């Protein structure tokens, strides 16, 4: 019994051993977390605060449940019900994860939050330069500097206007709670303006033309919400002008919702058509003035249309502070900050990036093919048997997730299939072996299946959770380093590279309709799938 409760006894012992506790405090590494969105919050919820000296810096002292943001624009959902104060989240961690530390030691684990922007990261000196907007310090700037040993960047992305003239000045964006509130006010304003006595019909129509630029999930969902809001509430309040309302979705690609299964895209387009929402595919917005929007279509050329309100949801861009980091570390030619599969930023030390601000560079099988062969060929025979490949296969699939995708895409079920494929047809039992050249042929096209992960809350949250688990077991990792392929040797699953688990996508389409795409090609369309989808986040 004494042996089995060893862990607890050790913790209890340290309570009375003051020197041990003090040295532990002195040794704590300094960790700075930037951002309190999906990625940052998931990280903070899962991190063991007793292990690090943590400072959280973000201009927003609350977390926003972004999937419900479009519903706030039309009053379906109250703003306060989709935010959670960050100080509450930090406090929760203390209670949920460290409750026994609190019980056993006099003081709980402290973690700081400061409401400020990080405007520069010094990757060599390991410092972040921050600026608070809500108060100034002695030199009148509100600026301060924080040192770090580990930096977790979770600042998300910003809107991308693609330098389209007029977008910044005349369009709404939909990213924050304030944006949703402003949009709501603006919709009502348009209805009031259209009701004024001195306008002619053309001018009323202009004010009631709502344009959404971008046919991604956010734009589509907002269009659907707006349609319902107009149909259910506003037509009752403004009966005289209800027939003049027009909602347009402008999409440069061939379809809306291109990240979903095509059946969903078609379903959504058909639904919108029935609702009278004008979906313009193949149109690119080139200019926006205060009362007209100009777009270009390959076949018909340039057209301009009057509008009352425009919402821009057509793309994501990199924040300036991240662009600067990329310059410092030799990533200036990349589009997005790049990490390895353990979410470490490539080209610098002690920096991790999660969520929309970064992308994972998946290592290619063909880059490592010789090492893989050598590793698998345990008997140094110069050939790999089915068993030799089998022995490393699971590890290979973890290290190179594209391998599994490739087998699936080729409808191959096992290694024998792979060998037959490489050897070009039927193979006798005795010669089910591959030499290095044959292995290269067998795996030649595997890397074509490398896919970058979508910029979604699901990915961000899973990365935050994964990275926290890595940090929680960091000491263990340092004491037991493992090679890149020896992933399962000691059963330490936390050494695994980050692996995304797709739980499906969901697109509310207004009314009681929604389209959900779930793993395994199961598609359900209709009422009730919404809550199924939200449960994806509630893990």
The pairs formed by 389-397 with CB atoms below 8 angstroms and a separation of 24 or more are 389/415, 389/418, 389/419, 389/434, 390/415, 392/485, 394/488, 395/485, 395/486, 395/487, 395/488, 396/365, 396/372, 396/485
Q: Which of residues 271-300 bind ligand FAD (CB under 6 A)?
A: none
Provide the 3-class DSSP secondary structure of residue 504. coil
Look up residue 472 and give its two tokens.
């929680």
User: Which of 372, 354, 369, 346 lies closest to 468 in space, CA to CA?
Assistant: 354
CB of 537 to ligand FAD, least distance (A): 8
Check residue 379 for interaction with Mg ion (CB under 5 A): yes
Q: What is the DSSP string of 337-373?
A: EEE-TT-BBTTSSSEEE-GGGEEE-PPPTGGGHHHHH
E strand or H helix at 280: strand 278-281
Mark residues 58-97: x for contact with Mg ion by CB under 5 A, - for none: ------x-x-------------------------------
82 touches ligand FAD by CB under 6 A: no
Strands 209-213 and 246-251: parallel
Binding mask 35-54 for Mg ion (x = CB under 5 A): x-xxxx--------------
H or E segment and range at residue 320: helix 320-328
Per CB under 6 A, does 219 bind ligand FAD?
A: no
- 182-221 binders of Mg ion (CB under 5 A): none
Q: Which does 379 bind (CB under 5 to 8 A by kind): Mg ion, ligand FAD, none?
A: Mg ion
Give me the helix-helix angle, 386-399 and 402-409, nearest 10°.
Answer: 120
Smallest gap from Cβ 478 to ligand FAD, in A, equals 27
**313 touches Mg ion (CB under 5 A):** no
Residues 6+ apart with CB under 8 A from 461: 38, 39, 41, 42, 537
Per rule CB under 6 A, is residue 60 in the interface with ligand FAD? yes
Q: Binding of ligand FAD at residue 311 (CB under 6 A)?
A: no
Binding segment for Mg ion among 340-348, 355-363, 396-404, 408-416 (CB under 5 A)? 355-363
Are 164 and 288 in contact by the 8 Å Cβ rule? The answer is yes
Nearest CB to Mg ion, comparing residues 86 and 293: 86
Under rule CB under 6 A, residue 40 binds ligand FAD: yes
CB of 179 to ligand FAD, least distance (A): 8
**The entry of Mg ion, ligand FAD, none that residue 207 binds, CB within 5 to 8 Å by partner kind:** none
Helix (H) or strand (E) holding 478: helix 474-479
Nearest residue (CB) to Mg ion, 308 versus 355: 355
Q: Per CB under 6 A, which of residues 95..134 are in contact with ligand FAD?
A: 117-118
Is 173 in contact with 313 (CB distance < 8 Å)? yes
Q: Residue 457 corresponds to which tokens in the numbers above?
A: 């809350």
Residue 216 binds ligand FAD (CB under 6 A): no
Which of 53, 228, 377, 517 is in the footprint of Mg ion by CB under 5 A? Answer: 377
Q: Which residues contact 22 (CB under 8 A, 6 or more apart)?
A: none
Find the binding residues for ligand FAD in span 18-37 (CB under 6 A). 34-37
Question: Rule CB under 6 A: which residues touch ligand FAD?
Answer: 34-40, 57-60, 66-67, 69-70, 117-118, 154-156, 174-175, 217-218, 319, 321, 355-357, 455-458, 460
Question: Rule CB under 5 A: which residues touch Mg ion?
Answer: 35, 37-40, 64, 66, 154, 355, 377, 379, 381
């Amino acid at each position: 019994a004494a042996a089995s409760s060893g862990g607890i006894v050790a913790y209890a012992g340290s309570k009375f051993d003051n020197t041990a506790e003090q040295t532990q405090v002195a040794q704590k590494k300094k960790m700075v977390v930037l951002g309190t969105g999906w990625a940052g919050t998931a990280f903070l919820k899962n991190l063991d605060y007793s292990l690090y000296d943590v400072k959280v810096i973000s201009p927003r002292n609350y977390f926003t449940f972004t999937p419900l943001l479009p519903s706030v624009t039309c009053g379906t959902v109250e703003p306060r019900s989709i935010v959670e104060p960050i100080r509450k989240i930090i406090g929760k961690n203390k209670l949920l994860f460290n409750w026994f530390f609190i019980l056993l030691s006099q003081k709980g684990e402290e973690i700081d939050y400061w409401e400020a922007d990080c405007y520069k990261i010094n990757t060599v000196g390991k410092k972040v330069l921050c600026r608070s907007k809500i108060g100034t310090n002695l030199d009148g700037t509100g600026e301060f500097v924080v040192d770090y040993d580990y930096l977790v960047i979770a600042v998300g992305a910003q809107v991308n206007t693609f330098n389209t003239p007029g977008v910044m000045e005349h369009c709404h964006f939909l990213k924050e709670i304030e944006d949703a509130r402003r949009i709501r006010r603006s919709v009502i304003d348009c209805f009031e303006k259209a009701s004024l006595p001195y306008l002619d019909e053309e001018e009323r129509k202009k004010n009631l033309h709502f344009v959404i630029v971008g046919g991604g999930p956010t734009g589509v969902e907002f269009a659907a919400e707006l349609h319902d809001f107009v149909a259910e509430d506003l037509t009752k309040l403004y009966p005289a002008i209800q027939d003049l309302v027009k909602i347009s979705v402008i999409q440069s690609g061939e379809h809306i919702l291109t990240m979903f299964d095509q059946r969903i895209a078609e379903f959504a387009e058909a639904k919108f058509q029935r609702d009278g929402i004008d979906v313009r595919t193949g149109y690119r917005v080139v200019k926006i003035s205060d009362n007209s929007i100009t777009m270009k279509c390959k076949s018909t050329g340039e057209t301009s249309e009057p509008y009352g309100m425009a919402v821009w949801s057509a793309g994501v861009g990199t924040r300036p502070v991240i662009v600067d980091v990329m310059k410092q570390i030799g990533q200036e030619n990349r589009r997005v900050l790049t990490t390895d599969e353990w979410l470490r930023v490539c080209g610098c030390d002690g920096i991790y990036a999660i969520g929309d601000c970064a992308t994972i560079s998946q290592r290619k099988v063909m880059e490592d093919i010789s090492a893989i062969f050598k590793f698998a060929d345990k008997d140094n025979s110069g050939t790999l048997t089915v068993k030799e490949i089998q022995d490393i296969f699971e590890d290979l699939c973890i290290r190179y997730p594209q391998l599994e995708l490739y087998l699936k895409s080729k409808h191959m079920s096992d290694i024998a299939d792979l060998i037959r494929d490489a050897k070009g047809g039927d193979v006798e039992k005795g010669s089910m072996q591959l030499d290095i050249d044959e292995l290269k042929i067998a795996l030649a096209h595997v890397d074509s299946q490398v896919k970058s992960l979508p910029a979604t809350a699901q990915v961000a949250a899973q990365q935050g959770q994964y990275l926290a688990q890595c940090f929680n077991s960091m000491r263990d990792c340092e004491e037991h380093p493992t090679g890149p392929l020896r992933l399962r040797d000691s059963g330490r699953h936390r050494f695994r590279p980050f692996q995304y688990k797709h739980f499906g996508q969901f697109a509310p389409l207004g009314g009681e309709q929604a389209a959900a795409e779930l793993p395994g090609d199961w598609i359900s369309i209709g009422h009730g799938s919404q809550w199924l989808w939200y449960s994806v986040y509630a893990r």
